[in-house]
Structure 1
Amino acid sequence: MIQSVCVFGDSVAKGIVFDSVLKKYILLKDSFVSRIEKSNHIAIRNFSKFGCTVTKGGEVLDRHKTELNRYDYTVLEFGGNDCDFNWSEISASPESDHVPNTPVSVFEEYYSRMIDEVRACGGRPVLLSLPPIDAKRYFAWISRGLNPENILRWLGDVEFIYRWHEMYNLAVNRLAILHNVPLIDISSAFLKTGNYQKLICEDGIHPNENGHRLIGETIERYAIANA
């Protein structure tokens, strides 16, 4: 029986959503982590941080590595910020070369180190795949106050955002296979709904409250099937 879990990730794991009424990011009271903790009576320490990349996440992990053997599982959720770009720079100079926050090769390298470190410290790593994004909504979001035409010129087409994000999701899947680590498939749970966009916030990238409910249910089903 699972009694304790720790989580390292970005704003998705933290439970950050965009409130369309307040017009700002808030911490969702019933995030998927909170739901699982309450409904299953599991003690969860959530070390996730807004805007966290896998390199920053590794630094957070280092600060808590002596604790990892106390938990039944260490859940890792990264990629959404790693694949993102500096959109203001792209808007100002669409003809230049631009690199993401974490190039995919570096992403895989650092994520691999994190998985190895969790195990070396006596922890049991579990990876979460990435919830899909709404490219059109996210394009409108990142273009605010910038030059949408320049950004689109650099992208080629709006759906490039979705494909680029999915490339990092595939990297997470590869790492799970390479390291023989359990992977909970959040992505398919969203895509199977048909209109997954209704589970995403106005910004096109953060799951909303219903999205968090789906993530929680997906993790619970996985845990029951693999108990």
Structure 2
Amino acid sequence: MADVNGVIDNTPDSLEFARMARPVAGSTRRGDNPVLFLVGNSTMRAGTPGNGNNGQWGWGHFMQNHFDISKITVENHALGGMSSRTFYNRLWADVVKGIRPGDWVVIELGHNDNGPYDSGRARASIPGIGADSLNVTIQETGVKETVYTFGEYMRRMIADVKARGGRPMLFSLTPRNAWDDADSTIVTRVNKTYGLWSSQVAEAEGIPFIDLNDISARKYERFGKEKVKAQVFYLDRIHTSEYGARVNAASAAEGIRAYPGLELAQYLLPSVADTMPGITNNADGPTVYVVGRDESGPTPRAFIESGRWDRVYNSLRPGDKVCICFTEACNTDRESDEDSFMLPGSGEESKVYKMSRSGRYRVVYTYGWYIRKIMQDCVEKGAVPELR
């Protein structure tokens, strides 16, 4: 029942902590601009503070990076451990208070809609979208409650948003690190349960449904199992690293942009990939990129976190060559430079640090992990990595 921050899910104290950590609904609004409200669980906001202090990040934290905040603001009201039932019963009323006509509300729930109905976290909804209900008494508290189907909780949220003049949208769940086939080439979809039920409710209610699960799953399949395990997830098969959260946020933005006639898309920033020129002797032939060899002598961590590797990655084409030249710049001393140090060795070890200058939490890996990341990215793009 305890989350990574030591907060018990079903006590008044934990809910008060959650309310302090999450924004007051509508508080980011600028003038008469609309607000995009995000409603979900730990895949959208990992940990109660949602600040990466356990190494995990939710995609909702990075959603604002895709919107023009001079025209619309994004509020992440998700909370780890919430099901459709517990979010509706405990947190939903606070969100509804801030909704004004013209606002948007994205709802992505279902990861936690299982388990017991009347004990422990007592967060399960009845599977499906029917009109079924169940009267229960919570064993630990004696509180009586009527439990509804997942679809009924979605319908109630949709009705509340519409009643306030807002525009609701349903998203399918982010993918897990789970694969259907023995060769690990097909990511397991949730299109027979919560994804299906969300799409059915959205169609019946006449609102948009975006299949976030499929958009990100197709990316995972392109990444390959090794990269997905090492880079997309952190500590388990459900919760994402910062990189994985950014991937899912980008998928959400892509889904919004691609949905026919969706007015929310007008607030998205242009999608432009920053690139970097390489060295080539033939305009039609492969390009050579040399990373890590410059006067500043960056470590692979600094090269990656500064965004320089992203520029190379975005430029790569099949057959290109990447020369990796970081061996002389290996800095494992945190005291000398906290923005570039790495853990020693080549293993999978990692540790979460709070950076003193920025106050931001960062996961720091080993020297070898960063080198493998670059190599995995090259392989994904069909480029050839070469260690120098």
Structure 1 residues 170 and 216: alpha-carbon distance in aligned structure 2, compared to 1, 3 A threshold: same
Preserved CA contact (<8 Å) 2:96 2:161: yes
For structure 1, which runs of at least 5 residues remain unmatched after alignment? 90-98, 137-161
Alignment match, 1:74: 105
TM-score (norm 1): 0.67
Verify: 1:209 aligned to 2:209, yes or no. Answer: no
Higher RCO by CA contacts (8 Å cutoff, separation 6 or greater): 1
Equivalent residue letter for 1:218: S
Judging by fraction of residues, say which structure has more helix.
1
Distance, in Å, in 2 between the alignment partners of 1:190 and 1:127 is 16
Equivalent residue letter for 2:41: D
Distance, in Å, in 2 between the alignment partners of 1:71 and 1:25 is 35
Which deviates more from structure 2 when the two are superposed, residues 102-111 or residues 194-203? 194-203
Alignment match, 1:53: 83
Query: Could you report, residue by residue, the CA deviation over 1:73-111 in whole angstroms, capped at 9, with x for unpaired residues?
Result: 0111100001x336xx9xxxxxxxxx9822213111111
Alignment match, 2:309: none
- Percent of counterpart pairs with the same letter? 24
Equivalent residue letter for 2:169: V
Residue pairs, 1:183-198, within 5 angstroms:
183-193=209-219, 194=221, 195=224, 197-198=228-229
Distance, in Å, in 2 between the alignment partners of 1:104 and 1:77 is 16
Preserved CA contact (<8 Å) 2:64 2:73: yes
Residue pairs, 1:111-130, within 5 angstroms:
111-130=154-173
Structure number with bigger Rg: 2
Please give the root-mean-square deviation of Cα atoms over the aligned residues, in Å: 3.2
Verify: 1:38 aligned to 2:69, yes or no. Answer: no
Residue pairs, 1:117-156, within 5 angstroms:
117-135=160-178
Distance, in Å, in 1 between the alignment partners of 2:124 and 2:96 is 25
Note the C-alpha offset of 1:54: 0.7
Distance, in Å, in 1 between the alignment partners of 2:170 and 2:203 is 11
Alignment match, 1:96: none
For structure 2, which runs of at least 5 residues remain unmatched after alignment? 1-32, 129-148, 180-187, 266-388
Note the C-alpha offset of 1:66: 2.8
Verify: 1:8 aligned to 2:39, yes or no. Answer: yes
Structure 1 residues 130 and 73: alpha-carbon distance in aligned structure 2, compared to 1, 3 A threshold: same
